[in-house]
Amino acid sequence: MGFSEKIIQDVNDLSEEKQKEVIDFIEFLKQKQNKEDDEIIDKVVLENAEAMEELAKMCYLIVKDFNKKGSIAIELNDSNEVT
Average pLDDT, the chain: 89
Angle at 66 between CA 74 and CA 72, to 5 degrees: 35
Predicted TM-score of the model (pTM) = 0.54
* pLDDT of 42 strictly over 80: yes
User: Which pLDDT tens digit goes with each residue over 12-26?
Assistant: 999 999 999 999 999
* Domain limits, the chain: 14-47, 49-83
Q: Could you tell me which of 69, 68, 62, 67 has the C-alpha nearest to residue 83?
A: 62
